[in-house]
């Protein structure tokens, strides 16, 4: 590619809205352009890099037996009504009516689609197992698009779907993905960790997320540096201490101006762990059959030394979504904000009690009366409710596995794998006749990788104060050829020779100054740079630099240039491929 004819241009300044370094550079180098909130175009560099990522994904998916297909983005709503997700997914899923007035949805994932196809193809155990995948456009109306391709509304995703006879089959293909994903990310140069995760709207039980650790991430990951325990905070557990003692009688005490746990503890001269605090939420519950919505007040009760993890609370409540309750809603539930507890709450309030509270005694809790608290409240004696782990893990807490100290970090989810089980096959009647003649629902799994998000994370991980420095396996071109001499012929010959031998070259043949050309080369950041300059040319040489080490200049004979560059490309490539992460899933 010649820079003189390149469609995209580089930008000297970061455009408005570039809220992280990787995004800024992808914009400035001309990889991507924004069209609207969370909507982007890939320009030639971005397209090339994406195509390389996709090639790696295809190779690894094919290696585990994946068959590539392509399903539609626009789906008839009927199949989404079959599983109930037409109703249970909120505004994230965009809908419209076609000219005939039929409900259509823009698919944000393809469990419904693929199950609809599979039920036509799979009738017998003889046709199992199956694994299909697609690399396809999706739309998700994210309320807060940000950070360029990190959080978008339209995106390209690799999604695969497995179909098995039994759990053993699902475990095997799940393990295949677990391993293949590490290979995919590491072949592209992206460091990731795998974390135990919540299944969320997907249903199913076991799931993992692949996280690129970065302060720009919005996911919180809890890890144990000692034993390697990792989980998304949404589901991370930790080892809790319980404080049991003999139950004492409840006593109402005046606690003026004690609106926070800190105030209360200072006033009563107790520790936070001796209190129970209440969190008031309203859950939405959707009837999957007809889409009818119902709201319910939920009170989560947790010990004062911990916080409620909303996702756990939502899962425990089996709610479709949660929102903070309004003051009037809390009062209507028989509780008083600031001095609230489930004691005396109306019976239609859903009470969910963390085990830290259930297993501790004599906690101070709100008296549901302005200015008053109750001493010595005890679960089951004074109030009842569902017991669940609804506590949020954080740094310093104790590892649930090895008793080490947990660490909290930020990450971006670039892939996920789910064991769906029969959630979709049962609701959509995707059954097969087993070897014993019995009809059984197919056991499914679902596996995703965000292609554009991978590019964004790579850009975030590989940059410096001059621009991008993407790994050779994903850079849009391998070589940046900069001609600084008046006579373009030498550059033209190198361009032709390299291109003819299959090397991908971006040739800066523009009539620009050396300063402009180098600044652009630094910004675009192709791994290998060849500079054709007057001085070295006199000695029959050209200068070569690696983008990853601009300090060092290599000098190659002009006549050996093709061979030398080939060797360099091979070296850079094998540096990455020799470090491919091989990691197996061990079923708990």
**What are the residues binding its own copies (CB under 8 A)?**
1, 5-9, 30, 33, 35-37, 39-44, 46-48, 50, 65, 67-76, 78-79, 91-92, 94-96, 98-100, 104, 106, 113, 116-117, 120-121, 127, 130, 132, 136-137, 139, 141, 143, 153-154, 156
- Rounded to the nearest whole angstrom, what is the least distance from the CB of residue 30 to its own copies in the complex? 8
- Rounded to the nearest whole angstrom, what is the least distance from the CB of residue 302 to its own copies in the complex? 32
Nearer to its own copies, 335 or 523 (CB): 523
- Rounded to the nearest whole angstrom, what is the least distance from the CB of residue 90 to its own copies in the complex? 9
Main-chain phi, psi angles of 576, to 5 degrees: -80, -45
Q: How far apart are CA 77 and CA 101, in angstroms?
A: 11
Nearer to its own copies, 97 or 579 (CB): 97
- Rounded to the nearest whole angstrom, what is the least distance from the CB of residue 526 to its own copies in the complex? 16
Nearer to its own copies, 116 or 198 (CB): 116
Beta bridge partners of 543: 531, 555
- Rounded to the nearest whole angstrom, what is the least distance from the CB of residue 146 to its own copies in the complex? 15
164-168 long-range contacts, CB within 8 A, separation 24+: 164/128, 164/129, 164/442, 164/443, 164/444, 164/445, 165/125, 165/128, 165/129, 165/432, 165/434, 165/440, 165/442, 165/443, 166/443, 167/443
- Rounded to the nearest whole angstrom, what is the least distance from the CB of residue 149 to its own copies in the complex? 12
Main-chain phi, psi angles of 160, to 5 degrees: -120, 160
Residue 400's nearest CA partner among 226, 276, 244 is 226
Q: How far apart are CA 170 and CA 157, in angstroms?
A: 22
Determine the 3-state secondary structure of 464 from DSSP.
coil
Q: How far apart are CA 215 and CA 233, in angstroms?
A: 15
Residue with tokens 């975030």: 460
Nearer to its own copies, 153 or 277 (CB): 153
- Rounded to the nearest whole angstrom, what is the least distance from the CB of residue 285 to its own copies in the complex? 21
Nearer to its own copies, 50 or 237 (CB): 50
Please report the DSSP string for 303-328 in residue order. ETTS-B-HHHHHHHHT-SEEEEPPHH
Q: Which residues contact 206 (CB under 8 A, 6 or more apart)?
A: 174, 418, 419
- Rounded to the nearest whole angstrom, what is the least distance from the CB of residue 396 to its own copies in the complex? 38
Nearer to its own copies, 48 or 446 (CB): 48
Nearer to its own copies, 8 or 422 (CB): 8
374, 348 contact by CB (below 8 A)? no
Tokens linked to 47: 């397209």
Tokens linked to 123: 């009738």
Residue with tokens 């823009």: 106
- Rounded to the nearest whole angstrom, what is the least distance from the CB of residue 182 to its own copies in the complex? 24
The H or E element spanning position 96 is strand 95-97
What is the separation, in whole angstroms, between the first and last Cα of the chain? 51
Nearer to its own copies, 149 or 301 (CB): 149
Nearer to its own copies, 117 or 247 (CB): 117
């Amino acid at each position: 590619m010649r820079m003189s004819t390149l469609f995209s241009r580089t930008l000297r300044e970061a455009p408005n809205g570039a809220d992280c370094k990787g995004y800024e550079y992808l914009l400035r180098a001309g990889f991507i352009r924004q069209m609207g909130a969370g909507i982007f175009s890939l320009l030639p560099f971005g397209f090339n890099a994406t195509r390389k990522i996709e090639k790696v994904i295809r190779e690894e998916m094919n290696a585990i037996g994946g068959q590539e297909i392509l399903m539609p983005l626009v789906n008839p709503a009927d199949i989404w009504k079959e599983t109930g997700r037409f109703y249970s997914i909120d505004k994230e899923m965009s809908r419209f009516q076609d000219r005939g007035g039929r409900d259509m949805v823009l698919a944000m994932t393809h469990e419904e689609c693929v199950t609809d196809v599979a039920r036509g193809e799979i009738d017998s155990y003889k046709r199992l197992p199956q694994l299909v995948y697609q690399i396809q456009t999706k739309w998700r109306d994210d309320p807060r698009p940000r950070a360029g391709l990190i959080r978008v509304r339209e995106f390209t995703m690799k999604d695969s779907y497995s179909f098995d006879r039994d759990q053993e089959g699902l475990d095997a293909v799940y393990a295949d993905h677990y391993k293949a994903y590490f290979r995919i990310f590491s072949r592209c140069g992206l460091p990731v960790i795998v974390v135990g995760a919540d299944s969320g709207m997907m249903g199913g039980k076991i799931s993992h997320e692949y996280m690129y650790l970065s302060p720009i991430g919005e996911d919180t990951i809890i890890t144990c540096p000692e034993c390697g325990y990792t989980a998304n905070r949404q589901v991370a557990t930790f080892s809790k201490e319980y404080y049991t003692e003999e139950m004492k009688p409840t006593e109402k005490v005046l606690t003026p101006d004690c609106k926070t746990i800190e105030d209360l503890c200072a006033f009563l001269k107790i520790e936070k762990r001796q209190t129970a605090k209440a969190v008031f939420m309203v859950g939405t519950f959707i009837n999957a059959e007809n889409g009818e919505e119902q709201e319910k007040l939920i009170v989560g009760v947790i010990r004062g030394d911990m916080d409620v993890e909303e996702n756990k609370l939502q899962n425990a409540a089996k709610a479709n979504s949660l929102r903070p309750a309004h003051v009037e809603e809390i009062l209507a539930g028989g509780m008083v904000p600031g001095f609230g507890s489930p004691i005396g709450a109306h019976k239609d309030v859903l009470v969910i009690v963390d085990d830290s509270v259930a297993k501790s005694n004599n906690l101070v809790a709100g008296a549901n009366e302005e200015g008053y608290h109750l001493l010595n409240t005890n679960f089951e004696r004074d109030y009842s409710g569902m017991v669940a782990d609804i506590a949020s893990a954080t740094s310093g807490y104790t590892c649930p596995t090895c008793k080490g100290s947990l660490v909290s970090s930020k990450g971006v989810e670039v892939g996920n794998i789910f064991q769906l089980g029969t959630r979709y096959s049962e609701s959509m009647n995707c059954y097969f006749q087993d070897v014993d003649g019995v009809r059984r629902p197919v056991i499914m799994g679902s596996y995703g990788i965000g292609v554009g998000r991978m590019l964004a994370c790579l850009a975030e991980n590989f940059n410096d104060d001059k621009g991008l420095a993407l790994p050779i396996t994903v850079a849009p071109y391998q070589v940046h050829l900069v001609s600084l001499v008046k006579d373009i012929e030498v550059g033209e010959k190198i361009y032709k020779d390299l291109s003819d031998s299959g090397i991908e070259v971006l040739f800066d043949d523009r009539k620009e100054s050396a300063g402009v050309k180098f600044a652009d080369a630094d910004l675009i950041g192709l791994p290998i740079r060849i500079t054709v300059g007057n001085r070295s040319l006199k000695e029959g040489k050209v200068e070569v630099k690696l983008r990853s080490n601009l300090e060092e200049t290599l000098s190659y004979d002009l006549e050996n240039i093709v061979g030398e560059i080939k060797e360099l490309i091979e070296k850079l490539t094998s540096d990455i491929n020799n470090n491919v992460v091989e990691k197996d899933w061990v079923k708990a």
